[in-house]
Amino acid sequence: MSIATPLADTLDGYLEALLAGRSAITKWRTIPTERIYCKVGADLGDYDVAGAVAALEERTDAAVWRRLARLCRRAPWATALSMLSAVRAVDDATAHGASDSHETAVVVAGHNLTSGYVYRETMEFLEEPDFIDGLMSLHSLDTDHAGSVSEVLGARGPIYTVGGACASGNHALRLAVDEIRHRGMKAAVVVGAPTDFSPVDLHAMAVMGAISHESFNERPAEASRPFDTRREGFVPAHGAGALVIEDWEHARARGARIHAEVVGVEASADANHEPQPSGESQTRLMRRLLERCDLTPERIDYVNMHATSTHLGDLTEVRSIREVFGDHTKRLRVNATKSMLGHTTWAAPIVELVAAVLQMQAGRLHPSINVVERDPEVDLDICDDGPVACAVGYLMKTAFGFGGTNCIAILRHPEAR
């Protein structure tokens, strides 16, 4: 696994920051906000990519590092962060050269990934057309992420991007598992690519009423508040993460570091393109996933919730969990990683799945912060009193996206096999 967020860019640092209940949200530094309503977010736009690449030189395969350094010099910020995340995940998995390059797939989660880059190039075009990036027609494509990751890693299996709005990361995980189960791949690299927001994106979401912008522009750390009565929309965030998925026996045979086992991933749709989450769809999908995984609800110890800090979204998910888990709801632990990170949009399922797995390994769950006045309908154990000890054998990661797309995963601790 790997992670890159404003909280931390190492797995140990990420877990430490989450357990400490730190907020990543500040005023935007790298996005001009003078003419837009939203002033706050989790900003990684000034991340030192060159420094991060240099730090990998002594740790990673020499040929991979040379390709990474060369490609990152010209790549847009978001694409560079995707490549960096993939290489870090492969390093963490001790996977360089572990699989035939023709049996390694790359699946990138997300779409409209370069909106900020396109916006900046458009501004340049309006000033002087000939000064735009000469590679813009290539770099502006989402497929540039998958192609660049493939080139850096030397992966020659299938490569593609999958767009499912805020469920993209889980959709990508599902397809990666399918590549191994059904398509002959030995491994797949799943990249939760960062979204390069433009001011237009942020303003459009504010006009629609989707993101926080009314009450917390001067108190950024308080803006993301799932489960609290004063929540007013999600907080956009930069962030990326990556996973290396392998066949179990292949990983065991080569002595790989195994963080968790993917038990199952299932998807569904609401048949409604508007941002109105469906409790019926969420409930049906959770039940179908449990059935496909041959698990009863009582086997799930922890749910890392989608919990975006919107009024309708949070309550819909709470009601669905209550409906599916019944009496076990009283013993179930849940939390909201977005309360600290904000919403990393298309990458969120991967960024938050890394958080969930780290918590499972540590046996401790991070707090859901900013719950000052709990919504009376939120009657789950949301870990709002600080980090709590919890032995997790099985976890569920939920993800729901605009367009009525839903995707949920269940993972288990390797020792729970």
Asked whether the beta carbons of 300 and 395 are under 8 A apart, the reply is yes
| DSSP three-state, residue 2 | strand
Q: Would strands 405-412 and 333-335 be described as parallel, antiparallel, or unpaired?
A: unpaired
Q: Would strands 364-365 and 388-389 be described as parallel, antiparallel, or unpaired?
A: antiparallel
Cβ-Cβ contacts under 8 Å for 17 (sequence gap 6 or more):
7, 8, 24, 340
DSSP 36: S
- Going 79 to 144 to 152 to 90, the CA torsion angle's sign is positive
Cβ-Cβ contacts under 8 Å for 64 (sequence gap 6 or more):
87, 90, 96, 152, 153, 154
| DSSP three-state, residue 162 | strand
Asked whether the beta carbons of 310 and 233 are under 8 A apart, the reply is yes
Give me the catalytic one of 139, 213, 238, 343.
343
Give me the catalytic one of 306, 383, 390, 413.
306
CA–CA distance, 47 with 61 (Å, rounded to integer): 23
CA distances to 25, 173, 237, 368 from 195, rounded to whole Å, are: 16, 18, 8, 24
Active site residue 166: yes
Active site residue 213: no
Query: Residue 157 phi/psi, 5° resolution?
Result: -80, -170
Active site residue 72: no
| DSSP three-state, residue 379 | coil
CA–CA distance, 394 with 388 (Å, rounded to integer): 17
CA–CA distance, 127 with 134 (Å, rounded to integer): 15
Give me the catalytic one of 38, 139, 145, 166.
166
Asked whether the beta carbons of 2 and 241 are under 8 A apart, the reply is yes
Helix, strand and coil percent figures for the chain, each rounded to 5 = 40, 20, 40
| Catalytically active residues, by annotation | 166, 306, 343
